[in-house]
A = this chain, B = another copy of it.
Amino acid sequence: MIAVIIKDYSDFFGSFPKFMSNKNPIGIFDSGLGGLTVFREIERALPYEDIVYFGDTARLPYGSKSKDTIMRFSTENILFLLKKKVKLVVVACNTSSSFALDYFKNIFTVPVLGVIKAGVDKALKLSKTQRIGVIATKSTIASARYKKELLDCDKNVIVYSKACPLFVPLVEEGVFTGKIVDGAVNMYLKSLKGKVDTLILGCTHYPLLKTAISGYLKGVYLIDSAKEVSLRVRMILEENNLLNNTKRKPKKEFYVTDKPREFMKSAKIFLKKEISRPKVVNV
């Protein structure tokens, strides 16, 4: 094993097996579509990497489910990616990242990176008042993982957490603005108004509601971790000499557990380009 030189990545586990080649793909999984925001940023930051994306569309959403179930589903998803010989797994789903990462540490040799720490670091960097809000799914909030990471870095931070279960269905329904969204934003964010100067969007779907949220919480920094995550992936691969340097056109593969056509259609909106038809698999 090559030791991995990672200092403050508390949501990065494992080390690269010796046999791992820089030509192996990066693996990303999410409960569904939302992780495509992470896919897009990784593609931008690392244009020569092959990527295998897995969306567990048959069992989504994860955000309302229990720790045990999320751990079981996530483990099955990673085992699938490992069959595809990925060199690194990115857990694009915030709920999985919140619950399952500590558990993966003891199971897999291939490194696993979550999305929590990237958002936490950026929020701490931007906040001036040290009053930081976190909005996410029920399960992510119940895990208290964001709060723990924030306080581990700076014990003077005051964290305001709020679960927003209607935000994902609204985004999936394509309703990004208007009365219903404003009503939901008001219902969930009223208690944060005037209190925080920075808000972590702790779910991959939430950036699509940015307009409504920033209209309601004027002047508050909104943190979308996808970009930060992609920079971490690049740093980790660089530090371990595992960047793909072939400079050829990379391969992108998509796998889902249900509804490949809908996935393809929505992917076009997320990525602003066509993707190859995802293969349906049963993990």
Q: Which residues does A use to contact B, with CB under 8 Å?
A: 57-59, 64-66, 68-69, 165-166, 168-170, 172-173, 175, 178-180, 183-184, 187, 257-259
Contact = CB atoms under 8 A, between A and B. Distances in A.
Contacts of A57: 65
Contacts of A184: 180
B180 A169 contact: no
A101 B32 CA distance: 27
A89 to B, nearest CB: 22
B173 A180 contact: no
20 contacts: A58-B69, A64-B172, A65-B258, A65-B259, A66-B258, A66-B259, A68-B258, A69-B258, A69-B259, A165-B169, A165-B172, A165-B173, A166-B173, A168-B169, A169-B169, A175-B187, A179-B179, A179-B183, A180-B180, A180-B187
Contacts of A178: 183
A66 B261 CA distance: 10
A120 B178 CA distance: 35
A53 B64 CA distance: 21
A238 B90 CA distance: 57
Contacts of A169: 165-166, 168-169
A166 B183 CA distance: 13
A67 B188 CA distance: 34
B69 A65 contact: no
Contacts of A172: 64, 165
A262 to B, nearest CB: 9
Contacts of A165: 169, 172-173
A199 to B, nearest CB: 20
A177 B169 CA distance: 18
Nearest to A57: B65
Nearest to A180: B183
A206 to B, nearest CB: 15
A68 to B, nearest CB: 8
Contacts of A170: 166
Contacts of A66: 258-259
Closest 5 CB pairs of A and B: A180-B183, A169-B169, A69-B258, A179-B183, A58-B69
